[in-house]
Amino acid sequence: MELLNLLLRNVLRHKLRSLLTVLGVGVAVLAFALLRTVVTAWYAGVEASAANRLITRHAVSFVFPLPLAYRDRIAKTPGVDKVTFAIWFSGVYIDKNQFFARLAVDSETFFDVYSEFLIERDQFEAFKRERNATIIGIDIAKRYNLKLGDIMSVEGDVFPGKWEFVVRGIYQPRDQSTDPATMMFHYKYVDERVRQEMPHRAGDVGWYIVRIHDPNNSAAISEAIDRLFANSRAETKTETERAFQQSFLSAASAVITAMDIMSFLIIGIILLVVANTMVMSARERTHEYAVLKALGFSGSQVLFLVAGESLILSILGSALGLSVTLPAVDGFQAALPKGWFPVFYLKPETIVFGCAAGLLVGLVAAVVPTRRILTTRIVDGLRHVG
């Protein structure tokens, strides 16, 4: 008990220095958690990818369409369970700063393939009955205070003109990795109008989503699908959904990698902050530790005093940083333009890593001062003037 009291007195001896150390660690832990959360948000689409889904797109670029006639041929490929498709509608809702995915989809099959979009059956039936109906994510409904029966007016750009959609369904994401901010409506409704106003674009889709029986056969099935359309006017490239999502990140891979590296460099900054404090404390108390050793204190007891002080400072700092991380993440998301990160949340792994880093830093920061104290002869320590 006396040893514990001595430890607490050492922590509080220089209150300002201890407070600044705790604050420094807290800020560093907060920065680490925010950076890790941003990196997680970048990879959210990849993490949400299903192993049994393939994406078939135009071989040249995702922006080029594919014929609707490809659907039946893909569906007959051995190993294919179900085929659906979608087209990127784009458009402007309210103003150009309001971004979220707007897709024209095959309403008969899309929600079977994407089972992570949870919608009540009566809402889904109402959606299928109305040609200009739409299903939106819960995040869109909350963001714009929309409810069933409301009208969403979208000014088209890829598909020019004014489009009005009736909200007939609001889906819930199955888990945190599912995008809660997507707007989906009937492909047939869009195609009917395209046939009248832009007949040269009629019957085109953006990409196909292929659900397969066995994910282990994804490479063979992808190759079989692409062979179907080899040397055609619209050759295809089929890949796993994960690879498809990763291709969108390739342009920003350098930035993401830099943020990833920086988040772990922050752990080194935490170590320097705590280590600096502990070295200063050990140098100032060299005479005191020599007295303790002269009185018979063992090396393990001295280690307890030094490492204990280091652990207390690092743990308090980590706790402070993590305690403000959740509101900081919410504030950071609110400050970003809407739609930048549809999936943005603090992963439990980030919290666990922050706690583990606090413990590890506390122990490592005590190594140098402890070694110095234990290797200093008692007579040299007693002569030391701090």
Mean pLDDT, rounded, for 113-133:
93
Report pLDDT for 210.
96
Least confident interval from 116-120, 137-141, 324-328? 324-328
Interacting residues of 273 by C-beta distance below 8 A, sequence separation 6+: 21, 24, 25, 28, 317
- Which residues are CB-neighbours of 351 under 8 A, at least 6 positions away? 33, 322, 325
Predicted pLDDT of residue 342: 66
* Number of domains forming the structure of the chain: 2
Stretch among 32-36, 78-82, 248-252 having the lowest mean pLDDT = 248-252
Residue 130's contacts (CB-CB under 8 Å, 6 or more residues apart) are 166, 168
Q: Check whether residue 223 and residue 141 sit in a common domain.
A: yes
In this prediction, residue 383 carries a pLDDT of 67
Domain extent, residue 83, equals 60-234
Mean pLDDT (whole number) for 203-218? 92
pLDDT score at 282? 67
Is residue 338 in some structural domain?
yes
**Quick one: 158 and 302 in the same domain?**
no
Same domain for 183 and 298, yes or no, is no
Per-residue confidence (pLDDT) for residue 340, from 0 to 100? 64
Q: How far is the C-alpha of 345 from the C-alpha of 292, rounded, in Å?
A: 49
Lowest mean pLDDT among 91-95, 107-111, 377-381: 377-381
Q: Is it the case that residue 64 has pLDDT exceeding 80?
A: yes
In a domain, 54, yes or no: no
DSSP string, 137-178: EHHHHHHTT--TT-EEEEEETTTTEEEEEEEEEEEEESSTTS
Tell me if 132 sits within 8 A of 189, measured CB to CB: yes
The model's confidence at residue 384, banded by pLDDT at 50, 70 and 90, is low
Q: What sign has the CA pseudo-torsion 218, 219, 224, 230? A: positive
Assess if residue 246 is contained within a domain.
no
Q: Which residue has the higher pLDDT, 183 or 14?
A: 183
Residue 242 domain-assigned?
A: no
pLDDT band at 46 (very low <50, low <70, confident <90, very high): low
pLDDT of res. 146: 94
d(CA 6, CA 297): 13
Confidence of residue 140 (pLDDT cuts 50, 70, 90): very high
For residue 198, what pLDDT is reported? 79
Confidence of residue 4 (pLDDT cuts 50, 70, 90): confident
Pairwise pLDDT comparison (361 vs 47), residue with the higher score: 361
**Domain identity same for 272 and 135:** no
pLDDT of 42 above 60: yes
Separation of alpha carbons 212 and 239, rounded Å: 12
Residues 156 and 187 in one domain: yes
226-235 confidence digits (pLDDT tens): 999 998 889 9
In whole angstroms, what is the distance from residue 180 CA to residue 118 CA? 10
294 and 145 assigned to the same domain: no
Let me know whether 130 and 200 are in one domain: yes
pLDDT of residue 381 exceeding 70: no
Residues 265 and 228 in one domain: no
Work out the mean pLDDT of the chain and round it to a whole number: 83
pLDDT at 74 over 60: yes
Higher pLDDT, 344 or 124: 124
Does residue 14 lie in a domain region?
yes
Model confidence band, residue 196 (pLDDT cutoffs 50, 70, 90):
confident
Asked whether residue 291 is domain-assigned, the answer is yes
Local confidence band at 252 (pLDDT 50, 70, 90 cut-offs): low
Q: How far is CA 87 from CA 28, 121, 203, 279, in A?
A: 43, 24, 11, 62
pLDDT on residue 382: 66
Q: Both 118 and 37 in a single domain? A: no
Token pair for 47: 């993490």
Find the range with the poorest average confidence among 107-116, 129-138, 353-362: 353-362
Instruction: For residues 120 and 135, give the distance between their C-alpha atoms in angstroms, rounded to a whole number.
Output: 11
Do 182 and 316 fall within a single domain?
no
Q: pLDDT value at position 339? A: 59
d(CA 188, CA 106): 8
Query: Which residues, 6 or more positions from 96, have their beta carbon under 8 angstroms from its beta carbon?
Result: none
Spatial neighbors of 93 by CB under 8 A, at least 6 apart, are 100, 102, 152, 153, 154, 155
Between these two residues, 19 and 370, which has the higher pLDDT value? 19
* Cα 321 to Cα 273: distance, rounded to the nearest angstrom: 14
Give the max Cα distance, the chain.
98
Query: Pairing between strand 80-88 and 101-105?
Result: antiparallel
Are residues 326 and 268 part of one domain? yes
Per-residue model confidence (pLDDT) at position 125: 93
Residue 52: inside a domain: no
Amino acid identity for residue 224 in this structure: A
**Helices (DSSP H) in the chain: which residue ranges?**
2-13, 15-42, 44-47, 70-75, 110-113, 121-129, 138-143, 187-197, 218-228, 241-249, 253-284, 286-294, 299-323, 325-335, 348-365, 367-375, 378-383
- Three-state helix/strand/coil letters over 71-96: HHHHHCCCCEEEEEEEEECCCEECEC
**Are residues 364 and 297 located together in one domain of the fold?**
yes
Residue 68 covered by a domain: yes
